[in-house]
Amino acid sequence: MRGSVLVVLCTIMVLVTPVLHALPRFALMSGTRCASCHINPTGGQMRNEYGVGYSIDKVPLEALKDSDLTFDPKLSENISIGGDYRSQFLFDNGSKTTSFHAMTTTIYGSIILNKKFSFYFKQDIINNVYGYFSGPEVFAIAKVFPGGWYIKGGDFLPNYGWRLDDHTGYTRGGDLSFIPSLGYNPGLIFTPNYKDVGMELGGYIGGLFITAGLFNGTGNIKKIDLSDQKAYVARVEYMGTVSSVNYRVGASGYGFNGFTMGGFTAGIGIDDLTLLGEIDWTKNYNHLVPTLGPCGYTMAAYAELDYRAVQGLWLIGKFDMFDPLQGRGNSWVVSDGFPNTNSIKRVTLGFEVFPYSFVEVRPQYRINIETPSISNDQGLVQMHLWF
């Protein structure tokens, strides 16, 4: 019975989404650029003045909203701070165990040096345990080119795909080996606090947003990494509106030292309904994850269906898939003896409620689907505070 329900749910999500894609739903619903709410030109993390105002007026439940609330994260005219705190309660149906998890406590800072240059930093003060690609982001932004184009340099997350707030999506960092008995991590390279050292050029041509970056490709493994091997990343995205429908389509590419990755993103927003998704393919991924065996060709996909029932209450459905062989066979056995199948799928159902400004509660239930089937479904309740 459960398998039939999952097939129906997945089929509905595929039918209403032309291709598997993803994108931040608030920007898609409003038809605005991510940089309209965020300091970073590529979106995510610290909010600007408009983003703080949006969090106060347009996000929480109307019945509980404090219409007299004012909040100013500015320390001075040119210096602002921000923050994110995320925690969750986990229930594992297989082992019947539970856990409280401190996900992140992140502090942001932005300093406007003059009309052209600004400085930005991000520091997670409780989680910095994901290897040499993990750590603080520190960069400068120079808006010195015509048309508002910028150049960014320092230590930061490359602009690839959609910046999901859920790092466990298989197009991002994945489960980080939380699912037992797989023998590998279903997920791509963008683990929590991922960053690399390099530079990025970006800007708009009408509705087309273009970014291109060049990085060391090795994070902070060395203070000075003199090498003829550099990582490259590029992303193009077009946003527009037809009648009352907002839409975005994009493509991304990444490469470093024989490893390549490419993908497509798209989505639409119609009033209170949004459809989001992404699909990515990799080559030579086994350079980074040896347990995937000799193939190194993987595919990750993510789809999300969101409906805002009322302001402050969202119904959420997600579908993840990770194929460690891109369909190149039914199964194989890695060197340590763990059997792995051609793909793993996951359906997540739940809702998100924003009872007050800067407060989010997210109850969800995740149904993991693999062959052979194991009892590993998960329930979780996440809490998010931000400013």
The reported pTM is 0.85
pLDDT at residue 319, as a whole number: 96
- Check: CB of residue 364 under 8 Å from CB of residue 348: yes
pLDDT at 332: 43
Alpha-carbon distance of 179 to 69, in angstroms, equals 42
Annotate 271-322 with three-state secondary structure. CCEEEEEEEEEEECHHHCCHHHCCCCCEEEEEEEEEEEEECCEEEEEEEEEE
Query: Residue 342: what pLDDT?
Result: 63
Query: How far out from the chain centre does Cα 261 lie?
Result: 16
Q: Which domain holds residue 231?
A: 2-386
Spatial neighbors of 87 by CB under 8 A, at least 6 apart, are 100, 101, 102, 103, 382, 383
Task: Report the candidate in 363, 382, 377, 383 with the shortest Cα–Cα distance to residue 96.
Answer: 377
Q: Which helix (H) or strand (E) holds 3?
A: helix 2-16
Cα 369 from Cα 344, distance rounded (Å): 6
Helix (H, G, I), strand (E, B) or coil at 229: coil
What pLDDT is attached to residue 176?
73
Instruction: Kindly state the tokens that stand for 200.
Output: 């990025």
SS3 of residue 114 by DSSP? coil
Cis peptide before 180 (omega within 30 of 0): no
Look up the CATH number of the domain holding residue 197. Answer: 2.40.160.10
Distance CA 280, CA 189 (A): 11
How far is it, in rounded angstroms, from Cα 375 to Cα 377?
Answer: 6
Number of domains in the chain: 1
Return averaged pLDDT per consecutive 10 residues of the chain, 387 residues in all. Answer: 38 33 67 83 87 85 85 93 94 91 93 96 84 88 94 96 88 75 76 93 96 93 86 97 94 94 95 94 71 68 96 95 73 42 85 94 92 82 94
What pLDDT is attached to residue 340? 47
172-209 tens-digit pLDDT:
988 776 655 566 678 898 988 999 999 999 999 999 99
pLDDT at 320: 94
pLDDT at 16: 33
Which residues fall within 8 angstroms of residue 154, CB to CB, at 6 or more apart? Answer: 137, 138, 139, 140, 197
Phi, psi dihedrals of residue 364, rounded to the nearest 5°: -145, 155
